[in-house]
Amino acid sequence: MPHSRPQTGFDIFCRVIDNYGDIGVCWRLARQLAQRSSDFRVRLWVDDLASFARIEPAIQANPTTVQKAQGVEVYSWEQSEQANLLPLDVVIEAFACELPVGYRSKLKAEQQHWINLEYLSAETWVEDCHGLPSPQANGVAKYFFFPGFTPRTGGLLREPSLLAQRDAWRSDPNGRTALLQGLGVPAAWIAGVRDQGWQQCYAFCYPHAPLQSIVDAYQAQARPTLILAAPGAPATRQAGNQVVRFDCPYVDQQAFDRLLWSSDLNLIRGEDSFVRAIWAARPFLWHIYPQQEQIHLEKLHAWLALQPCTPEAAELMLSWNKGEAKAVNSRLQALLQAPQWQNWQASATRFSEEQAGQHDLVMQLLQLVQRSQ
């Protein structure tokens, strides 16, 4: 008789505060856990399925029953309040979202591992807090899991074969053509990037970003540029013939990654697209999620201190986040020239490779679960 191994179960709870970062991270985490082992059962509990459905077409905003997508069981938040529901072995509370009260009351110290998945930060204090337990009123310890960039943090979400998939996809130019055709980009513009050396910039930034200054910097270049503007990017003026703009629809996360992989420069925001831009290994400008009292700028400085991009690229990133339109225009124009552009590209590749040399977040999460047993 075949021996059947007991399943390990994961319950992931996600509240969508705003935007797509919370669900973006939880969806990647859920899929990666489900793919890591057929012995894993993964349930994802989400309070805003409509936002989820925008970045994952397989999800319905108003389902009548449980949805199963890519090996993950997806439930609405309310369904976790059912009296007869039993928690699985590992309970992941994403970004301190507070578990539903009824569900939390069922957790038992000897049966569940309770983990709070925190936001990503490059600040040094994260190393001291990663993996620490915090005893809760119900007698169960909640462990703090901090993603990060150094070996003493929880690492970054990265599928084991991601970089090989990226390189294989990039090596076939038909992949990019099909992607752009699927989005509805005009054929002449696709031919521009495919055959005529046009540059491509993907722009996923908050509405207050000085995107016009990026358009103006590209306008002054000898080579034309296709700007692919993601939903939410600010409007820009057509300033000449060197730059064309195409407004992209929402795409699923795989297509999102491919947009990053195929662009020369990526403008990304929040935390999940930031990590995916690192894996794209192309120059990018991070538009960090704005917080009160400029806390986000401290986070930006912390990250700039540990990554290897040139001082000129770091200055540009600061100007971009401070909304300094003139400085963004002139700094980007300078960076688009040789050898600054090549140096920026090289530093993006170096940082991506360095980070890929560390254990990924899912592996570290599983190690934390083992250690806390």
Q: Which residues of this protein are in contact with ligand TRH, per CB under 6 A? A: 17-22, 24, 55, 119, 204, 230-231, 250-253, 256, 269-273, 289
How far apart, in Å, are the Cα atoms of 130 and each of 11, 299, 359, 365? 20, 17, 15, 11
Instruction: Report whether 142 contacts 115 (CB < 8 A).
Output: yes
Instruction: Report whether 202 contacts 259 (CB < 8 A).
Output: yes
CB atoms within 10 A of CB 44: 27
Instruction: Report whether 167 contacts 282 (CB < 8 A).
Output: no
246 backbone dihedrals φ, ψ, rounded to 5°: -120, 125
- Minimum CB–partner distance for residue 251 and ligand TRH (Å): 4
The pair of three-digit structure tokens given for residue 40, joined into one six-digit string: 């894993």
Instruction: Report whether 17 contacts 271 (CB < 8 A).
Output: no
Catalytic position from the list 11, 22, 47, 118: 22
- Minimum CB–partner distance for residue 277 and ligand TRH (Å): 9
Closest CA to 320 of 205, 154, 226, 164: 205
Please identify, using beta-carbon distances, which residue of 88 and 203 lies nearer to ligand TRH.
Answer: 203
271 included as an active-site residue: yes
For residue 360, the 8-state DSSP code is P
Please identify, using beta-carbon distances, which residue of 75 and 256 lies nearer to ligand TRH.
Answer: 256
On the 0-12 / 13-18 / 19+ scale of CB atoms within 10 A, 353 is: exposed
- Minimum CB–partner distance for residue 16 and ligand TRH (Å): 8
- Minimum CB–partner distance for residue 313 and ligand TRH (Å): 20
Strand order in the sheet with 90-94: 67-69, 72-76, 40-46, 8-14, 90-94, 113-117, 141-145, 133-135
Please identify, using beta-carbon distances, which residue of 48 and 216 lies nearer to ligand TRH.
Answer: 48
Catalytic position from the list 118, 216, 271, 272: 271
- Number of residue whose CB is nearest ligand TRH: 21
Please identify, using beta-carbon distances, which residue of 19 and 221 lies nearer to ligand TRH.
Answer: 19
Please identify, using beta-carbon distances, which residue of 273 and 352 lies nearer to ligand TRH.
Answer: 273
22 included as an active-site residue: yes
Please identify, using beta-carbon distances, which residue of 149 and 256 lies nearer to ligand TRH.
Answer: 256
- Minimum CB–partner distance for residue 162 and ligand TRH (Å): 14
**203 vs 266: CA distance, rounded Å:** 6
The pair of three-digit structure tokens given for residue 212, joined into one six-digit string: 């016009």
- Minimum CB–partner distance for residue 113 and ligand TRH (Å): 24
Q: Which residues are catalytic?
A: 22, 271
